Structure 1
């Protein structure tokens, strides 16, 4: 059974190739309803985006990249060297719907990836500096069926 975050990323994630860059960027702006549901995921009183959601985004990004280059998606994907670099905090301004929270996954040609987050003020459209929260490498697709 898929989690709600997995369904969100598979339904809402958009893969796009950056012009003049070998990297792929996959972005997803999290819906207010998903953020509200995650507000209760707290560590020491701070609301955090669940780590498993970051792993699910990495997989969804890898699958979106494969689909966008017309490669068949295989039945097994592996992600190695996963590192949670810092928590992805859900601030009050995001939870109060004053800002949007966007997660972006950058996949480099060597398979290394990073997930970073940034917020955008709904009124001014100004975005915060991106913060890397997750890294990994070795996205592999096993062709076995």
Structure 2
């Protein structure tokens, strides 16, 4: 089931104008309108430094570098989030497919999709747009 990115259930909310001021055009298209960057073009698809990947919209820590793996798909891929409660899963029936969209549970920003073809121990592959995340070398996983 889909819901609008500005649903009042999200704790962090801004007007469309505020999102446009905060995010660059690519980040805005991805995070607020569920666009997808082209494979092998994003900043983090081949990035391997230790640290934390945070939501571009609200800075929520979402993925740790030690769960990142090379899925060969051209997007940053992780086998689990830092905390499953920080990721919202929604059914996505766009483009003639049925997939599971993942969003930041705090601000509703579109991150990418999750698939069941990842490595152990979860078997999941969180396929995330680089434009939806920021990287930091800090190990802080709290807001």
TM-score tier, shorter chain, comes to under 0.3
The structure that is helix-richer by fraction is 1
Per the normalisation by structure 1, the TM-score is 0.26
Per the normalisation by structure 2, the TM-score is 0.27
Q: Determine which structure has more spread, i.e. the larger CA radius of gyration.
A: 1
The structure that is strand-richer by fraction is 1
